[in-house]
């Protein structure tokens, strides 16, 4: 009897467990025994495996819930780690590895594959795509993105209705460290100019603080309210992370924004006190992954409106945080189906073809119809690479999406209100 | 033909528009003409009304979306405001007022009612209940709470799955400035001790920083992870808002937490620079409504784990923010039904009884069955009062809910995953 290990890497998603279910169910149908590794590669080394079948816990009980049911990891293995893992794999008689994750996981799978070949260990390695960031190359889109995009679209729609109820300026910080796929989804329920989000900012389009405040005040002047969606990965004009950007820091050092420089420095000191602080290339303490960008921009808006209008605008900034990837409410039905499909396809490729690779999700859109299918591509083609928003998905001003993006994304998220 | 004004007050909810629909549809059926006031009392004074019917926009198009479709207000009217409003009402021949909102809106309705009587103006005033805070007295629960509680329960469930995937300490800050109803709902998907949220903190149970950190480190030691739900209205041991609490500030002034005092002071300076800062009774700048509590607690946890374990725990804090009240995804079906029902009932009371009052939602729970009904109570009985979590809904340690709370809340939120 053949034996497979299935593992999960990177941040969890709403539907990653459906991919795991797809792998386990298809493997079982094909007479392959499946072990799940606890916390990915870390579980290989610690020999932490649990037998998985489609009809027993955790697969039977958790397949429709978000999160990585057997645990995930961010570990990047080296050659030595692989040698150790292969000893464990041999002991358990492992023939296949199915590693569900994003581009880092594709890279880990590629490393394992290369090292297995060089060690002469017969192991078929497959990467199964997953990421809310939607940034895997070779893919039309990635399982996990549709549900995260659905959450963001419904959250921003509700938030727009909220801002209309009690008008002010509202900023929503949305995930996506390098690519703007998720922040772009904030516009999916938009119908008219007066609908939020009035402004959308992407990692792909660098902006100064003056750019942002200029845009926001213009919308606020026109509608008496303004809703803004900003990617956590926004860069300053020098293409450096917005908070770290020397250009932006220069803007903050001038009146009336000087208190904000103090704010950033103090928050850096707090990070330092925890012993976990990392520094960027400019020697600043990194503040990503905190609520700092939200707090900074809300304060800048209040200061700017106080200065220009004599009264600070009602302004609040929310960082959407982990809920984008794990909210347990309704997933995108298309996403659920496709997440399961890529898991099944990986097993089918493994059984039918004597090869390794990454499952890639391709799609056809023509005449309002949408159809997805899975192909096998080389691990190296996907590993460690990132896919950014194409130019024709971002408007000329770099502060909104185009109709082309909406047409691309709408089939992926399921039916939306409004 | 009789004529009614309908208005909305306070923060919006997922289902407040269903109450508006209920009022408009029932009034129309009873031959009453309805005008909607833009932004509540502010619309009375500015004479901003729009005719509403169940089959035309905005009622026809927005009744299933969150937010106050005709705008809301936080204005508290005085006697003079009422006199001005009555001039406008008379001009439009208004016989009834239906004001949808929380306890502040009940108070506004009560003031309007009193002033109408004293001015000899024949106006029937009705308060229609709405609040995610669930803190109206005389009510078993309030329309809007069920959907907000559903959001919080599904968000915390997903977040628990996320924390299991990549273990660490996760803090979620949940709305409810004075009452812990919403933060309590974080526990509605919990089944076993190892399930998150492992700790829940309420405005009704004061805690020191040492209390929180002690609890968190104990859970972290046991499970290698810890998920914590904290009300934004948490108080320090001196019963002062946690961030303002002199007791808590005393804890922060000691090593290793001293950088956190600097953080709070700097954030206060930033608020001051915007000209909109308010001071509490201790002369501190108020920081509620920002991400400060989340940032403060995440930093304190990292510092405490760095000190006691030699390595800062992976810790992140999310402030759930406005999405709790306005997320446009699935509402609680029970909540939708009841929100519409209280709107209809207000009109029925108005038509059948020559009286004023507040519609109160009562419920019977027996033998696993749940049934709600609406009663009319005196405006003064509800106006400006708050209802807190009863003692038997909070555990003895003051850091979790009891089974009695779960039994109370489960019928209100609709079917939940797990």
The 3-class SS string of chain B reads: CCEEEEEECCCCCCCHHHHHHHHHHHHHHCCCEEEEECCCHHHHHHCCEEEECCCCCCHHHHCCCCCCCCCCCCCCCCHHHHHHHHHHHHHHCCCEEEEEECHHHHHHHHHHHHHHHHCCCCCEEEEEECCCCCCCCCCCCCCCHHHHHHHHHHHHHHHHHHHHHCCCEEEEEECCCCCCHHHHHHHCCCCCCCCCCCEEECCCCCCCHHHHHHHHHHHHHHHCCEEEEEECCCECCCCCECCCCHHHHHHHCCCCCHHHHHHHHHHHHHHHHCCCCCECCCCCECCCCCCHHHHHHHHHHHHHHHHHHCCCCCEEEEECCCHHHHCCCCCCHHHHHHHHHHHHHHHHHHHHCCCCEEEEEEEEEECCEEEEEEEEECHHHHCCCCCCCCHHHECCCCCCECHHHHHHHHHHHCCCCC
In a domain, B405, yes or no: no
Please name which of A414, A394, A381 lies closest in space to residue A139, comparing C-alpha atoms: A381
* pLDDT score of A43 more than 90: yes
Q: What is the pLDDT of residue A353?
A: 79
Q: Are B271 and A268 in contact (CB under 8 A)?
A: no
Same domain, B272 and B354: no
Instruction: Name the residue facing A270 among B11, B159, B263 (closest C-beta).
Output: B263
In sequence order, which residues have a C-beta less than 8 Å from that of residue B185 and are 6 or more positions away?
B148, B149, B150, B152, B153, B409, B413
Please name which of B325, B268, B324 lies closest in space to residue B296, comparing C-alpha atoms: B268
Q: Using one digit for the tens of pLDDT, what is the confidence trace for A163-184?
A: 999 999 999 999 999 999 999 9
Supply the angle between the helices A403-413 and A333-352 in degrees, to the nearest 10: 80
Last residue within a domain, chosen from B289, B310, B325: B325
Q: What is the largest CA-CA distance in chain A?
A: 76
Same domain, A134 and A197: no
Q: Using one digit for the tens of pLDDT, what is the confidence trace for B363-405?
A: 999 888 999 999 999 999 999 899 999 999 999 999 999 999 9
Residue A399: strand, helix, or coil: coil
Tell me if the pTM is above 0.95. Answer: yes
Same domain, B155 and B296: yes
Please state, in angstroms and rounded to a whole number, the distance separating the CA atoms of residues A172 and B285: 24
In a domain, B80, yes or no: yes
Q: Using one digit for the tens of pLDDT, what is the confidence trace for A184-198?
A: 999 999 999 999 999
Share of chain B above pLDDT 70, in %: 100
Q: Using one digit for the tens of pLDDT, what is the confidence trace for A228-250?
A: 999 999 999 999 999 999 999 99
- Neighbouring CB atoms inside 10 A of B250's CB total 14
The shortest C-alpha distance from A153 to chain B (Å) reads 9
Please state, in angstroms and rounded to a whole number, the distance separating the CA atoms of residues B303 and B310: 10
Q: What is the pLDDT of residue B287?
A: 76
Q: Using one digit for the tens of pLDDT, what is the confidence trace for B109-127?
A: 999 999 999 999 999 999 9
Last residue within a domain, chosen from A326, A358, A373: A326
Q: Are B277 and B260 in contact (CB under 8 A)?
A: no
Same domain, A190 and A106: no
Q: From the CA atom positions of chain B, what is the Rg in Å?
A: 23
Parallel/antiparallel/unpaired status of strands A124-129 and A49-52: unpaired
Mean per-residue pLDDT, A139-159: 98
CB contact under 8 A, A155 and B323: yes
Residue B403 has φ and ψ, to the nearest 5°, of -60, -30
Find tokens 């919006």 and name the residue. B12
**Number of structural domains found in chain A:** 2
Please name which of B28, B25, B23 lies closest in space to residue B1, comparing C-alpha atoms: B28
Q: What is the pLDDT confidence band of residue A413, given thresholds at 50, 70 and 90?
A: very high
Structure tokens at B270: 């930033």
By residue range, what is the domain housing residue A185? Answer: 148-326
**Is A335 annotated as catalytic?**
no
Instruction: Name the residue facing A417 among B157, B165, B328 (closest C-beta).
Output: B328
Please state, in angstroms and rounded to a whole number, the distance separating the CA atoms of residues B132 and A149: 26
In a domain, B416, yes or no: no
Same domain, B292 and B195: yes
* pLDDT score of B288 more than 90: no
Instruction: Name the residue facing A165 among B68, B170, B418 (closest C-beta).
Output: B68
Q: Are B389 and B404 in contact (CB under 8 A)?
A: no
Q: What is the pLDDT of residue A217?
A: 97
> With a cut of 0.90, is the ipTM above it?
yes
In a domain, B400, yes or no: no
Same domain, B43 and B108: yes
Q: What is the pLDDT of residue A292?
A: 87
Same domain, B157 and B269: yes
Partner A, chain B 5-24, Cβ-Cβ below 8 Å: 8, 11-12, 14
Q: What is the pLDDT of residue B285?
A: 79
Between A168 and A271, the more confident residue is A168
Same domain, B217 and B310: yes
Parallel/antiparallel/unpaired status of strands B169-174 and B315-319: parallel
Same domain, A231 and A105: no
Whether cis (ω within 30° of 0) applies to the bond prior to B18 is: no
In a domain, A410, yes or no: no
CB contact under 8 A, A166 and B302: no
* pLDDT score of B276 more than 80: no
Last residue within a domain, chosen from A299, A326, A353: A326
Q: Are A361 and A343 in contact (CB under 8 A)?
A: no
Catalytic residue among A133, A135, A172, A295: A133
In a domain, B273, yes or no: yes
Q: Using one digit for the tens of pLDDT, what is the confidence trace for B150-204?
A: 999 999 999 999 999 999 999 999 999 999 999 999 999 999 999 999 999 999 9
Whether cis (ω within 30° of 0) applies to the bond prior to B410 is: no
Q: What is the pLDDT of residue B132?
A: 97
Same domain, B185 and B275: yes
In a domain, B179, yes or no: yes
Structure tokens at B108: 């506004």
Q: What is the DSSP string of A32-68?
A: -EEEEETTTHHHHHHT-EEEE-TTSTTHHHHTTSSS-
Mean per-residue pLDDT, B62-91: 97
Same domain, B165 and B308: yes
Nearest residue of chain A to residue B63 (CA atoms): A418
Best probe of the A interface among B152, B162, B256, by most A CBs < 10 A, is: B162
In a domain, B121, yes or no: yes
Catalytic residue among B25, B104, B133, B356: B133
CATH code of the domain in which B233 resides: 3.40.50.460
Across chain A, mean pLDDT equals: 95
Cα B274 vs. chain centroid, distance in angstroms?
A: 27
Same domain, A156 and A206: yes
Please state, in angstroms and rounded to a whole number, the distance separating the CA atoms of residues B214 and B283: 30
Q: What is the pLDDT of residue A366?
A: 86
Q: Using one digit for the tens of pLDDT, what is the confidence trace for A340-387?
A: 999 999 999 999 977 899 999 999 998 889 999 999 999 999 998 999
In sequence order, which residues have a C-beta less than 8 Å from that of residue A320 and are 6 or more positions away?
A152, A155, A172, A173, A174, A175, B323
Q: What is the pLDDT confidence band of residue B289, given thresholds at 50, 70 and 90?
A: low
Please state, in angstroms and rounded to a whole number, the distance separating the CA atoms of residues B210 and B236: 10
CATH code of the domain in which A73 resides: 3.40.50.450
Residue A185: strand, helix, or coil: helix
């Amino acid at each position: 009897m053949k034996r497979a290990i299935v593992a999960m890497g990177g941040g969890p998603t709403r539907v990653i467990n459906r991919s795991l279910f797809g792998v386990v169910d298809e493997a079982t149908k094909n007479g392959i025994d499946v072990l799940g590794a606890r916390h990915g590669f870390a579980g290989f080394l610690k020999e932490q495996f649990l037998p998985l079948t489609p009809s027993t816990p955790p697969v039977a009980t958790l397949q429709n819930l978000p999160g990585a049911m057997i645990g995930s990891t961010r570990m990047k293995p080296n050659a030595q780690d692989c040698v150790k893992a292969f000893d464990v794999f041999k002991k358990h008689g492992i023939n296949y590895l199915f590693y569900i994750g994003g581009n880092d996981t594709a890279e880990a799978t590629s490393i394992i594959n290369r090292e297995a070949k060089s060690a002469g260990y017969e192991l078929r390695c497959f990467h199964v795509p997953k990421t809310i960031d939607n940034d895997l190359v070779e893919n039309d889109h990635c399982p996990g993105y549709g549900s995260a995009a659905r959450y963001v679209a419904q959250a921003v729609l509700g938030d727009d209705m909220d801002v209309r109820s009690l008008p002010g300026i509202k900023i929503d910080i949305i995930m996506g460290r390098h690519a703007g796929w998720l922040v772009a989804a904030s516009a999916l329920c938009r119908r008219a100019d007066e609908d939020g989000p009035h402004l959308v900012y992407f990692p792909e389009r660098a902006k100064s603080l003056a750019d942002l405040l200029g845009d926001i005040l213009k919308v606020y002047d026109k509608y008496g309210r303004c809703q803004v969606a900003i990617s956590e990965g926004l860069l300053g004009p020098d293409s450096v992370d917005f908070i770290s950007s020397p250009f932006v820091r220069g803007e903050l050092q001038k009146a009336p924004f000087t208190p904000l420089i103090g704010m950033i420095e103090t928050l850096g000191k707090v990070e330092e006190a925890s012993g976990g602080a990392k520094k960027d290339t400019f020697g600043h303490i990194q503040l990503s992954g905190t609520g700092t960008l939200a707090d900074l921009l809300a304060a800048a808006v209040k200061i700017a409106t106080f200065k220009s209008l004599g009264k600070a605008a009602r302004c609040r900034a929310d960082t959407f945080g982990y809920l984008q990837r794990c909210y347990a409410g309704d997933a995108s039905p298309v996403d659920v189906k496709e997440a399961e499909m890529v898991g099944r396809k990986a097993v089918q490729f493994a059984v039918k073809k004597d090869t390794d690779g990454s499952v890639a999700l391709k799609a056809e859109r023509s005449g309002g119809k949408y159809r997805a299918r899975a192909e096998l591509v080389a691990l190296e083609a996907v590993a460690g690479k990132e896919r950014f928003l194409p130019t024709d998905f971002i408007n000329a001003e770099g502060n909104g999406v185009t109709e082309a993006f909406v047409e691309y994304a709408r089939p992926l998220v399921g039916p939306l209100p409004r």
